Amino acid sequence: MSERNPAQGTPEKVTGSGSAPDTAAPAPDTTPPAAGAPGGVRATESGARAGAPDAVTPDTGPSGTPGDTGTDAAPAGASGPPETEATGPRPSVGGANDGTPPDAAAADLGSRPLPDGPDLGWVNPLRDPQDRRLPKIAGPSGLVIFGVTGDLSRKKLMPAVYDLANRGLLPPGFSLVGFARRDWEDEDFAQIVHDSVRDHARTEFREEVWQQLAEGMRFIPGDFDDDQAFEQLRAAVHELDKSRGTSGNYAFYLSVPPKFFPKVVRQLRKHGLAEAPAGSWRRAVIEKPFGRDLRSARELNRVVHEVFDPEQVFRIDHYLGKETVQNILALRFANQMYEPVWNRSYVDHVQITMAEDIGIGGRAGYYDGIGSARDVIQNHLLQLMALTAMEEPIAFDADSLLAEKLKVLKSVKLPRDLGEHTVRGQYAEGWQGGEKVRGYLEEDGIDPGSTTDTYAAVRLEMDSRRWAGVPFYLRTGKRLGRRVTEIAVVFQRAPHSPFDSTATEELGANAIVIRVQPDEGMTVRFGSKVPGTSMEIRDVSMDFAYGESFTESSPEAYERLILDVLLGDANLFPRHQEVEESWKILDPIEEYWDTHGRPAQYASGTWGPGEADEMLARDGRSWRRP
């Protein structure tokens, strides 16, 4: 049980051995009461009363050994352990509300043996999964990054690890192991991470956080078929278990091209790294693309699942780690005002756009032959569509979310005429950002005869009661007008208007626009009367912005996703069933494009080829200008 210390305002643990009371006469306690202590209760219990157990200070156990600290201690201002079925009502000690004199209550407490603290049945409320006073913090663990010298690792992964440590969300002994084809020592690797953190971290650099993180960094040089390198990796993992207390818990992040996935996972199995010790876990993290078609995706899943169970595999789609994407579920299912109109009776169509204002940069080797549809539509945009269209899950857990998203993906209906309702394009030279830029076919490392798409737009429908007849338009491209990702739910116009046409000629369709990036938030567009003597109605917007509504800035997507991997929370990770269903949607479109002409050209800095505008015009609609 706990006894309130009035002077400190925090509970102190009192333990007893359960033995018979001491018959020796104790010396009288002459310690004066603490200032403000009620009822003469002394700030320090000496255990001088007959049979009273020895007092235990808050930072020591029953034998003077270090006791529970941190989250195991009750929060300041708490009134001691909660009443539970195991403990029953708490005894009133010192200043109880039942009228018992404090000294008498304490004497009564000391007249009977007390159980030891661990046997009280008290559960720390801060460890309750439903408690929101503390954030979720990863337990003892480490992260191994393959391909640690790549851009993704330097610009996203390593800064995200530091930001998590800086926010206190990683354990003190967290370890980071890099694996790459560089002749580096541990110190060289630490310096690379240091420079990456300085250049790209979201949070302020703090030397004490860096020093603690750097102590757990190791680097393993070698190729993916180098058995000796993987033996060194296994030795490093065992050494970190002992020196850093990682408890055998490791996530293996494959930040490498997909063609190396099978080789890396098989090496992990061969050298005993994929199998976790008893009571520990091992997980594999895989970056997109998950194959380049349905056949290759199934083969990749088969190889990976030979080594890791499906629940051990975390497929990264960094868009699902963005706050605004997660807010789609909150917007729809935590509010009553949206769901009644979120269906075919009120929605005219949905547009999902991911536009980039840059070219392929130095990614020619990866991008050529993949294209924008495989790179973006197959994963990012179809996931956004699934979250927008799904039914309410029975719970916010991985299995429930998977069930509802799969229903959406399986209900997707491709257009009968793929030539009319799909468009692909390539950016040509033009002006962007005030400078002349090259076209795709003039980029370094690109075959002048390449038919790889840098722009793709498709029209999809769903065979479901909620969305029957509502088209979903998905588009993505490089070298477009600006960098933006948004979901626009465009509503039908009012079936009847009492206003004449001149009053509403500037009135568009109502819309809810979810801004995923860069200005995270939401816009609701509706019509309002223009001030004046005449009736004129014009579109206005009502905005919600994360940066203005919340004091805490949104974490980077990779921060959230890496933490979820270490916690084993799979809510934001596509499962292999979703990956395969997505390829079933895209494969027929890619096969059609392979046999029908070349991509349409569009000038850099514009919003895509004219054929995409014509695609919507045939439906009596037009693209939104983000």
- Structure-block tokens of residue 28: 């009288």
Rounded Cα gap, residues 205 and 203, in angstroms: 6
List the end-to-end C-alpha distance of the chain, in Å, as a whole number. Answer: 61
- Count of beta carbons in the 10 Å neighbourhood of residue 28: 7
DSSP state letters, 31-54? PPPPTT-GGG--SS----STTPPP
Contact between residue 356 and residue 483 where contact means Cβ atoms under 8 Å apart: yes
Of these residues, 318, 349, 380, 576, which one is catalytic?
380
Rounded Cα gap, residues 573 and 310, in angstroms: 12
Contact between residue 464 and residue 495 where contact means Cβ atoms under 8 Å apart: no
Contact between residue 294 and residue 185 where contact means Cβ atoms under 8 Å apart: no
Note if 380 is an active site residue: yes
For 105-109, the CB contacts below 8 A with 24+ separation are 106/41, 106/49, 106/52, 107/49, 109/52
Task: Identify the sign of the CA torsion 498, 499, 500, 504.
Answer: negative
Rounded Cα gap, residues 23 and 614, in angstroms: 98
DSSP for residue 247:
T
Exposure string of 387-399, with b = 16+ CB inside 10 Å and e = fewer, is: bbbbeebeeeebe
Rounded Cα gap, residues 237 and 58, in angstroms: 36
Task: Looking at 201-309, list the stretches that DSSP marks H as alpha helix, in order from N- to C-terminal side.
Answer: 207-214, 227-244, 261-270, 294-307
DSSP for residue 619:
T
What are the backbone angles phi and psi of residue 289, rounded to the nearest 5°? -80, 150
- Structure-block tokens of residue 151: 């851009």
Residue 170: helix, strand or coil by DSSP? Answer: coil
Contact between residue 242 and residue 216 where contact means Cβ atoms under 8 Å apart: no
* Closest listed residue to residue 94, CA positions, set 81, 83, 84, 107: 107
Rounded Cα gap, residues 42 and 60, in angstroms: 20
Considering only the C-alpha atoms of the chain, give the largest distance between any 2 of them, rounded to a whole number of Å.
103
Rounded Cα gap, residues 425 and 467, in angstroms: 29
User: How far lies 390's CA from each of 318, 342, 386, 466, 539, in Å?
Assistant: 20, 10, 6, 9, 29
* Closest listed residue to residue 204, CA positions, set 166, 158, 174: 166
Task: Looking at 29-129, list the stretches that DSSP marks H as alpha helix, in order from N- to C-terminal side.
Answer: 102-110
- Structure-block tokens of residue 360: 């392929």
- Count of beta carbons in the 10 Å neighbourhood of residue 192: 20
DSSP element (H, E) containing 10 = strand 10-13
Query: Which residues are part of the catalytic machinery?
Result: 380
